[in-house]
A and B are shown apart, each in its own frame.
Chain A
Amino acid sequence: MATFDLNDDGLVVIVGSGAGGGTLGTELALKGIRTVILEAGARHNMEDFVNDEWASFAQLAWTDMRTTSGSWRVARDFPNLPAWIVKAVGGSTVHWAGASLRFEEHEFRIRDHYGAMSGANLLDWPITRAELDPWYEKAEDRMGVTRTNGIKGLPGNNNFKVLEAGARRLGYKEVHTGRMAINSEERHDRGACQQIGFCFQGCKSGAKWSTLIAEIPRGEETGNLEVRPNCMAIRIEHDAAGKVTGVVYADEKGQLQRQKARIVAVAGNSIESPRLLLNSASTLFPDGLANSSGQVGRNYMRHMTGSVYGVFEKSVHMYRGTTMAGIIRDEAHHDPKRGFAGGYEMETLSLGIPFMAAFLNPGGWGRPFTSAMEQYPRMAGMWLVGEDMPQETNRITLDPAVKDKHGMPVAHVHFDDHPNDVAMRNHAYRQGAAVYEAVGATVTYPTPPYPSTHNMGTNRMSAKPRDGVVNRFGQTHDVKNLFVSDGSQFTSGAACNPTLTIVALALRQADHIAGAMQRREI
């Protein structure tokens, strides 16, 4: 494992060690490029993870202050928890469930395909599905995604079997146990899934891919990667020519340090990345770094989400086994006849009793609530995840009043559902309920969105500098040695879960950065 000097100005410095940052750092190290990852959270081992929802949340989740506004229900129910993401080495890939799907071809060009939509800010990506396909292939192989590379699907658990039976009765065709970055058989030194059922709590068996266990250690082995846990980036600095020169961060003791850099890559997830750029405003960049377009922090997407739980006469025990290995893809296409643009996936989901109580109907109480809780062993559950429309006003800003313990303004998250999101959610609630009713559900619960687990779009890619923050390689339009490497690059959110695309983009970006460094362009 390497340790690099604070004054070494030949390094790539990455902020964040999650899907984007952890992958980029490892890939650069494998290519022989000396890299430091600054990670705000602590480093845990697989053995330290706990099969206990609240204890695990306390161990892993980002609970530093954030503030909210807007008409979304999360702002009312969880005003200081707009997002459920991780603050630890590995980032949200420690929490994630492993669903790994490619965007559809048209989902890269929504402005073209869906047309102009009032109130929304649609834009086409500057890259196509065909361009990303080789990187998707690489990512799938690396992450060991089931149903790719000859890897068999995971076995279906009880929750999946209910979903599958209902889906078939309804006439849905594309129903299976998903494309999951969870080993169905031993692969790349990691064992097969033990059906533990605490995928969100950091898989204790190592079957689930995360940058913590599957990437970063490989990068560290090369001697080219140093990961610094408990180091929170506060500000990115630049020289008079407008090139970035380093990152100021608070170390584990809260002391400020300055790490010099040849290149800086921001990968703090879509809330923290724009916060860091905005907080790096200077006389040269008065609206924040890389923000000449005014788009930093805008077009925040979080997916149209919701859940449906169905109750049956007999037991399901949905919590047994892999949390999200089950999918119906028949509604994922774009079919405006349904009354909205874009599509959605239905994926199995289960929560334990503690989280079910918190999320089933936040704020709910009394007999209707407790009667639902008492159906727990007879419940099946699904998560609805669909494309939400980028809107300029859905936005991360620096809170004008609230600061964190380092004196850095906290992120303020504003979100309103677009009418398209609402129409899609209502359709998804109806179809989700129909799936369970088809196999005898006695009651179904349309459950509101949880705090955002999929955060995207706040530093989006654009062909033209005025429409977005980064170019087709995630390089900022304004500063050539500054990159964005996480989900905030997304120009659109697509119907599917984002992480495979984040990883594919990071691998592609590593290739680009290595080439540009070799050619001495940066």
Chain B
Amino acid sequence: MREVDPRRRVSRRSFLQSAAAAAPVAAIATGLSVEEAWAEGGAALSPAELKTLVKVARDIYPHDFLADTYYIAAVKPWDGKAAGDPATKQLLTEGLRRLDEDARTRHKVAYAQIGWEADRIVLLQAIEHTPFFKALRADLVVSLYNQPELWPKFGYEGPSADKGGYLHRGFNDIDWLPKV
């Protein structure tokens, strides 16, 4: 069977172009960590808030084979939205503040500093029905999984018409089924 190479196969140039709108280019190009990429803060959110937001995003949809850059790209538009819309900004800053408060009450540290994911999940479950969590999750399920750069990592090949479909590229190449 033809397997899918999980490495990024898009050219760096086209990748930067498609991701530029959503994520800090520096982080993508150099593989910097969240802190470094967003040390300056965003348009509306502080560096600490952005960092927590990325942590929350990863905790909602944890894929250990994905670098932070994908989560940054997924949540970054929120910062832009918050800059243009006070209600969004309030939703985010209050949601994040409440998470940090809950974290301090239970674990004496901010949300992002809690060591185990399982402990952070308990805090997220407690806010699962808040508008903050619901909006974030609903947005993330698109903004994370709709990044073409991440598809090969999930064994998904994306568009195929430009490659002539799968007629000669393994639409029926399964080779392990038992004979019946």
Contact = CB atoms under 8 A, between A and B. Distances in A.
Nearest to B141: A357
A365 B137 contact: yes
20 contacts: A158-B174, A164-B180, A193-B165, A194-B167, A195-B165, A204-B161, A317-B2, A320-B160, A320-B169, A352-B151, A352-B158, A353-B150, A353-B156, A357-B144, A357-B145, A358-B141, A365-B137, A366-B62, A370-B61, A377-B3
Interface string A304-334: 0000000000111101110000000000000
Contact of B165 (A164, A197, A366): A197
Nearest to B151: A353
A284 interface: no
A361 to B, nearest CB: 10
A161 B146 CA distance: 28
A354 B145 contact: yes
A165 B165 contact: no
A162 B156 contact: no
Contacts of A439: 177-178
B177 A165 contact: yes
A354 B165 contact: no
Nearest to B62: A370
Interface in A166-210: 168-169, 193-198, 204-205
Determine chain B's interface SS by DSSP, over half rule: loop
Contacts of A373: 61, 63, 145, 154
B67 to A, nearest CB: 15
Interface residues of B, number: 43
Nearest to B66: A370
Contacts, number: 136
A406 to B, nearest CB: 27
B115 interface: no
A200 to B, nearest CB: 13
A342 B164 CA distance: 41
B44 interface: no
A376 B60 contact: no
A521 interface: no
Interface in B128-180: 137, 141-142, 144-146, 148, 150-151, 154-162, 164-167, 169-174, 176-178, 180
Nearest to B145: A357
Nearest to A354: B146
Question: 8 closest A-B pairs (Cβ-Cβ)?
Answer: A377-B155, A321-B171, A194-B165, A51-B159, A357-B145, A196-B165, A168-B180, A195-B171
Nearest to B155: A377
A70 interface: no
A353 B172 contact: no
